[in-house]
Amino acid sequence: ATGTRMGVFGAAQAVAAGLAGLVATGMLDLSRMILPDAAAYGVVFTLEAALFLVAAIVAARVMQAPQMNDATLVPGE
């Protein structure tokens, strides 16, 4: 079961990374249509940074969730 779980986790990361690259590239192309290149990159990077902070806050809240009584659970499960 552990190998399957890690395989699914790796696949989820790969899909997320690919989708993020595709979406960021599309956003950059759209931004460059209405803004100068430097401003377009700045807008996309700032949005990505904000999303990273949101993800960090969500992760911190998950790690502070009340612990279950099952001793076999580890962070990340």
C-alpha dihedral sign at 31, 32, 34, 40 = positive
Q: Which residues contact 19 (CB under 8 A, 6 or more apart)?
A: none
Please give the Cα distance from 19 to 13 (Å, whole number).
Answer: 10
- Reported confidence tier of residue 24, pLDDT bands at 50, 70, 90: very high
75 pLDDT higher than 70 = no
Please report the pLDDT score of residue 7 as a whole number. Answer: 76
Q: How many CB atoms lie within 10 A of CB 19?
A: 10
17 pLDDT higher than 80 = yes
pTM above 0.75? no
